[in-house]
Amino acid sequence: MTAVLTPTRTPLSALVAPTLQTIPEAVAANVRQVRAATSSTVMAVVKADGYGHGAVTVARAAVDAGAEWLGVTEVAEAVALREAGLSVPILSWLNPAGADAVRAAAQRIDIAVGSVEELRQLVADAEEPVRVHLHLDTGMARGGCAVDDWAELLRVARRGAAAGRLEVVGVMGHLPRADEADPAANAAAVLRMRQGRDAVLRAGFGPLLVHLAATAGALTDPSTHFGMVRIGAGLVGIDPSETVALAGASRFTASVVHSAGVPAGTAVGYGGTCVLPRATHLGLVGVGYADGIPRQLSAEAGVEIGGRRYPIVGRVSMDQIVVDTGEERYPRGTAVTLFGPEGGAVPSIQDWARWAGTIPHTIVTGIGPRVQRSIA
Ligand SMILES: *Cc1c(COP(=O)(O)O)cnc(C)c1O
């Protein structure tokens, strides 16, 4: 008798495609936590696609929770927010190819300017008055106008204002060392900020919105708050000072693509760098470094399956990782959580940063384009 083998095919729908889910309620909770730490206006910084969480999703959640401004690097990002219906003030502070002055004025997008050349260009290009924030280097040597050039920047600004090409509405700085959670580390920057602001007032501008602090300064040092704080990392659950517990705002899930039992002595992955000391089960998960899984990982790195943490074994490939599930063999389609806010067996973005020797910012901004996006 010949057995008729009926091919059993797992329907594709049983597989959960790799997905990054954004959790707007966590963003809102984080905004509320920042608002409890300051009486200043809160700007939600949603550059780099909202730190990988979706700029529009994060912006809407933050504004609904009381953020009054939005911040981005480029004018094009600000225009996308306007097109999504966000009507609060938006500041753009880094335009590598030059700010589009006409578009900025038309869409009510404020531009931060940190050099005399940039300001001259803006004045030359503007047709309607552009709202400008003068950006002072408060001690980082990474963008912002040098203290020595501040007076010249103010002269150019005065001429631009007189010609109806710009309106100075703000003064901006940035803290180089706020993540140290040590007010003494910020004192020099705060002093420079005050002196810079006073010079702008003496030049006849005002009222001015003054802003210096990002997440770490907002959470740890009220002397840095001035009129507004600019919160990016904090929105998505990252406190660079590691002093405040914020809510993780994303969950990265995938599923087991294939699993099998293997004998002791099995070498796993490229280069056979991991040789299994005992018989075990391996699960293949279809995400790799092209999806943002760091290739350099400590041996501690793992994922959650079925409420338990299992280690990643062997090298991370471009499209896949292998997980050692020990006694358990998880069938194709079983859900895998790479990171999420739950705690316990579910790794956090802070865990991933530790395993990869980096900061959580690079984990969330590094998730690749083929990972589906969804909203919780
Ligand atoms: C990215 C950025 C911020 C936000 O910083 P976080 O530490 O992520 O809150 C604020 N200001 C400027 C100028 C930035 O570039």
Report the CATH architecture of 24-236: Alpha-Beta Barrel (3.20)
Q: What is the pLDDT of residues 118-153, one digit of tens each?
A: 999 999 999 999 999 999 999 999 999 999 999 999
| Ranges of CATH 3.20.20.10 domains, the chain | 24-236
**Is 371 near ligand 1, meaning CB less than 6 Å away?**
no
**Is 240 near ligand 1, meaning CB less than 6 Å away?**
yes
The pLDDT value given to residue 1: 43
Q: Yes or no: is domain 252-375 CATH 3.10.580.10?
A: no
Task: Measure 185 CA to ligand 1 centroid, in angstroms.
Answer: 17
Q: Give catalytic status of residue 270 as yes or no.
A: yes
Answer yes or no: are the C-beta atoms of 166 and 129 closer than 8 Å. yes
Query: In the chain, pLDDT over 70 holds for what percent of residues?
Result: 96
When pLDDT is averaged across residues 71-77 and rounded to a whole number, the result is: 97
Q: From the centroid of its chain, how far is CA 225?
A: 21
For the cut 60, the answer to whether the pLDDT of residue 8 exceeds it is no
For the cut 70, the answer to whether the pLDDT of residue 13 exceeds it is no
The pLDDT value given to residue 174: 96
Q: How confident is the model at residue 11 (pLDDT cuts 50, 70, 90)?
A: low
Contacts of 308 (CB under 8 A, 6+ apart): 328, 345
Among 199, 216, 98, 210, residue whose Cα is nearest residue 152: 199
For the cut 70, the answer to whether the pLDDT of residue 100 exceeds it is yes
Return the structure tokens found at 185.
Answer: 């580390």
For the cut 70, the answer to whether the pLDDT of residue 64 exceeds it is yes
| Separation between Cα atoms, residue 37 and residue 33, nearest integer Å | 7
Among 254, 257, 252, 320, residue whose Cα is nearest residue 12: 257
Q: How many residues does the chain have?
A: 376
Contacts of 69 (CB under 8 A, 6+ apart): 41, 42, 43, 44, 88, 89, 90, 91, 228
**Is 192 near ligand 1, meaning CB less than 6 Å away?**
no
**Ligand 1, atom nearest to 172 Cα:** 13
Q: What is the pLDDT of residues 22-32, one digit of tens each?
A: 999 999 999 99
| Separation between Cα atoms, residue 222 and residue 213, nearest integer Å | 9
Task: Measure 346 CA to ligand 1 centroid, in angstroms.
Answer: 28
**Ligand 1, atom nearest to 73 Cα:** 15
Q: What is the pLDDT of residues 195-251, one digit of tens each?
A: 999 999 999 999 999 999 999 999 999 999 999 999 999 999 999 999 999 999 999
| Ranges of CATH 2.40.37.10 domains, the chain | 252-375
Task: Measure 195 CA to ligand 1 centroid, in angstroms.
Answer: 22
Q: Give catalytic status of residue 289 as yes or no.
A: no
**Summary mean pLDDT of the chain:** 95
Return the structure tokens found at 104.
Answer: 């900025």
Among 282, 279, 278, residue whose Cα is nearest residue 256: 282
Atom 15 of ligand 1: nearest residue by CA position: 73
**Binding-site residue ranges:** 142, 318
Q: How confident is the model at residue 340 (pLDDT cuts 50, 70, 90)?
A: very high
